[in-house]
């Protein structure tokens, strides 16, 4: 079984709808992240959480919210989806530390299309 | 200036070729450095960490030049399976809205038969 899972893997929604993307991990990591990836723009950080009680905005948090329900679960919500939120969304986890300990482990991604 | 800059490529090389990618970073306080690999429509995965003394893993060699603030990745004897996008990643510590890892946009490599 995959260590970091994301649901759904693909989603088509309409402008104005609220949707939630879910991420679960079995790695026991405290740190979790949500990124979006767009062609030519690379990975951009939306939100991150260093533990269950810690939530931080990333560089592109507008239009998104998150919930850290447990150490293993980190959900991303689009309150009112708009077409420019069409992207590939990745969840990632990591441990605190130095060097290779800082490796981020990514989920398989969620492809979101907002019509 | 972008935090982490890479040549987007694509680098089109024949099998067996040696290819090198460079990456520059702007934050002199950056603490650690990595190369990730991302296959088309897949998630990024760690390829190797980059150490000050340089490090090698099979056909892959990574170098760090702190004075000039650049990182390199050398791939020898390229294989078809090396075709992917290579992401340069820099850890800037606890970076506020940037989080701690900054990802470059990636360099695309295509190895041809």
Query: pLDDT by residue (tens digit) across A18-33?
Result: 999 999 999 999 999 9
Is the minimum CB–CB distance between B112 and chain A shorter than 8 Å?
Answer: no
A100 and B CB contact within 8 Å? yes
Which pLDDT does position B1 carry in this prediction?
A: 56
B chain contacts of residue A33, beta-carbon cutoff 8 Å: 99
CA distance linking residue B65 with residue B71, whole number of Å:
6
* Average pLDDT of the segment spanning B76-88: 97
What is the predicted pLDDT for the residue at A82? 97
Asked whether the beta carbons of residue B87 and residue A43 sit closer than 8 angstroms, the reply is yes
Residue B106, chain A, CB below 8 Å: the answer is yes
Give B32→chain A minimum CA distance, Å.
6
In contact, B73 and B20? CB cutoff 8 Å: yes
Chains A, B: CB contacts under 8 A, how many? 56
Average pLDDT over residues B39-66: 92
CB A93 within 8 A of CB A25: yes
> In this predicted structure, what is the pLDDT of residue A40?
81
Confidence of residue A1 (pLDDT cuts 50, 70, 90): low
B32 and A CB contact within 8 Å: yes
| Cross-chain residue pair B101–A102, CB shorter than 8 Å | yes
Write down the residue that tokens 């470059």 correspond to.
B104
Round the CA-based radius of gyration of chain A to a whole number and report it.
Answer: 13
- Mean pLDDT in chain A? 92
Per-residue confidence band for B100, with pLDDT thresholds at 50, 70 and 90: confident
B95 near A CB under 8 A: no
Q: At residue A17, does pLDDT exceed 90?
A: yes
Percent of chain B with pLDDT over 70: 93
d(CA A78, CA A68): 15
- The answer to whether the bond into A31 is cis (omega within 30° of 0) is no
The per-residue pLDDT for range A46-89, each reduced to its tens digit, is 999 988 999 999 989 999 999 999 999 999 999 999 999 999 99
Q: Is B76 on the interface with A (CB under 8 A)?
A: no
Residue A92 has pLDDT above 60, yes or no: yes
Comparison of pLDDT for B1 and B62, the residue scoring more: B62
Q: What was the pLDDT predicted at B41?
A: 86
């Amino acid at each position: 079984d995959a260590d970091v899972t994301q649901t759904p893997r693909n989603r088509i929604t309409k402008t104005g709808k609220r949707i939630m993307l879910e991420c679960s991990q079995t790695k026991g990591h405290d740190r979790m992240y949500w990124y979006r990836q767009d062609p030519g723009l690379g990975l951009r950080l939306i939100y991150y959480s260093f533990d269950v009680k810690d939530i931080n905005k990333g560089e592109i948090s507008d239009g998104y919210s998150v919930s850290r329900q447990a150490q293993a679960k980190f959900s991303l919500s689009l309150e009112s989806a708009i077409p420019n939120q069409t992207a590939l969304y990745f969840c990632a986890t990591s441990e605190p530390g130095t060097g290779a300990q800082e490796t981020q482990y990514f989920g398989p991604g969620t492809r979101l299309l907002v019509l | 200036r972008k935090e982490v800059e890479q040549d987007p490529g694509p680098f089109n090389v024949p099998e067996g070729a040696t290819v090198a990618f460079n990456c520059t970073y702007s934050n002199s306080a950056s603490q650690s450095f990595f190369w990730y690999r991302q296959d088309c429509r897949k998630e990024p995965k760690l390829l190797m960490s980059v150490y000050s003394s340089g490090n090698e893993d099979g056909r892959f060699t990574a170098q760090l030049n702190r004075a000039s603030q650049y990182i390199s990745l050398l791939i020898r004897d390229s294989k078809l399976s090396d075709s992917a996008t290579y992401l340069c990643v820099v850890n800037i510590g606890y970076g506020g809205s940037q989080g701690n890892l900054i990802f470059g946009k990636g360099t695309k490599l295509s190895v041809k038969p």
